[in-house]
Amino acid sequence: MSRFWKIALVVIAVVVLAVVGFRLVHKPAGQGKKGADATPPVPVTVVPVVKQNVPVYLNALGTVQALNTVTVNPQVAGQLMSINFTEGMPVKKGEVLAQIDPRTFQASYDQAVSKRNQDQSLLATARSNYQRSQNPKYSQYVSKMDQDTQRNTVAQYQAAVAADDAAIRDAKVQLDYTRIRSPIDGLAGIRAVDPGNVVGTSTAIVTLTQLHPINVMFTLPEQNLDMVRRAAAGATPLQVTALDRVDAHPIATGGVLRVIDNQIDTTTGTFRLKSEFSNDANVLWPGQFVNVQLLVNTVDGGLVVPAQAVQRGPNGDYVYLVQGDNTVKMQPVVVAGEVGDSHVMIGSGLKAGESVVTEGQFRLKPGSKVNPLKPGEVPAAPSAAELEKTKKDMQKGGGRRGR
């Protein structure tokens, strides 16, 4: 190629670049604005940051335990005559649950009473003889030795009567034991023996459980011990709520913390706690597993947002914060804890009244223009003029691409 043609090509290239640069630099202002306006605002759901008192809970898995569990055994041996309770039904303290054949024990009681009557008669005779020997009319005819003997005979029969009284009380206790009574108010379980069997002191009749009130036992990690002890040191007992294991809704409220165990389990690193519920509706049952919420503190004026507003990024948690010009920015936040099942408390990064995005974050980036909507609100349908304008813009864009 000759030197002339090389110079000509260089000149042509310079001219083309100059023309392109001139068009870019002197692009009409309206054209750039029109391209920016072609991207509509992103519709998103927005909620404000609210300030409220936030309860702080510790969650655990608990087991329902009867306040008292008593296995009823006879205290005397004999043939079981009758069962006087209904399985699965409440019984009252002192109510007769079963009857053992009382005839042998009744005979022993009658014998003790008869023996006392006999000794009382002998005591009366001895007293009469002793009192007569002390009478001045007869004392001169009674020797000193006989008087001492009569006095000692009276003391002997007094002791015999006292022993008879003790034997009668013992026989009465044994006789009363033939009526097996409930030691507590509780619920009867399934009976373990049938009438007609000969039972002994090791034979179980039935197990009774006391359901009102009832305990819920649970454990917490040892790192929560100081928090719980400080909270329990207050004048008001800590409140406990029992929740269902399936969908975690409250099934028993109004429970109170009664005991913090005095040691930590070294194998699990946990400590045990005992709570008490009135259980008036019998919703808690011994052996039942429940979720437990222990209220240890209430934060005054905590900042609360829906949990779905918080996003996880490479540098930590953040939210999309809506600014005054309806653009968004990524705002780092620190989550201080959960508030129920759907909200979280923000420790830092937000202020009360600020608006955060809860739905539609996947379409956003810092600086995006948004159309803020309330929860449940849907964006308005475009008007005919807006549809026509969009159609024309698309046609113009397509024509430029065609050229």
pLDDT of residue 389: 62
In a domain, 48, yes or no: yes
Question: Residue 186 — φ and ψ, nearest 5°?
Answer: -170, -170
In a domain, 320, yes or no: yes
pLDDT of residue 61: 94
In a domain, 109, yes or no: yes
Cα 396 from Cα 385, distance rounded (Å): 16
| Token reading at 212 | 């009102």
pLDDT of residue 165: 96
Q: Cis (ω within 30 of 0) for the bond into 372? A: no
Give DSSP secondary structure letters for 77-135.
-EEEEEE-S-TTSEE-TT-EEEEE--HHHHHHHHHHHHHHHHHHHHHHHHHHHHHHHHS
How far is residue 129 from each of residues 121, 139, 157, measured CA to CA in Å? Answer: 13, 11, 13
Question: Within 13 Å, how many C-alpha atoms sit on residue 47's CB side?
Answer: 18
User: How many Cβ atoms are within 10 Å of 98's Cβ, its own excluded?
Assistant: 22
In a domain, 50, yes or no: yes
Question: Residue 115 — φ and ψ, nearest 5°?
Answer: -60, -40
Cα 270 from Cα 60, distance rounded (Å): 11
Question: Within 13 Å, how many C-alpha atoms sit on residue 184's CB side?
Answer: 18
In a domain, 250, yes or no: yes
pLDDT of residue 24: 58
Cα 191 from Cα 218, distance rounded (Å): 30
> Same structural domain for residues 157 and 135?
yes
pTM of model > 0.85: no
> Same structural domain for residues 119 and 154?
yes
| Token reading at 148 | 């001492």
Pairing of strands 370-373, 42-48: parallel
In a domain, 399, yes or no: no
> Same structural domain for residues 190 and 94?
yes
> Same structural domain for residues 190 and 268?
no
Where residue 110 sits, what CATH number does that domain have?
A: 1.10.287
User: Domain boundary at 269, 299, 329, which?
Assistant: 299
In a domain, 215, yes or no: yes
Our count of domains for the chain comes to 4
> Same structural domain for residues 321 and 363?
yes
| Token reading at 47 | 């909620």
Average pLDDT by stretches of 10, the chain with 403 residues? 63 65 55 53 91 88 95 96 95 96 96 95 88 71 74 91 96 96 95 95 95 95 93 91 87 95 94 96 94 90 91 91 92 86 87 92 89 81 61 58 42
206 touches 190 (CB < 8 A): yes
> Same structural domain for residues 141 and 226?
no
> Same structural domain for residues 247 and 266?
yes
* Sign of the dihedral defined by the CA atoms of residues 284, 289, 290, 296, in that order: positive
Cα 360 from Cα 369, distance rounded (Å): 12
Domain that holds residue 169: 102-177
pLDDT of residue 385: 62
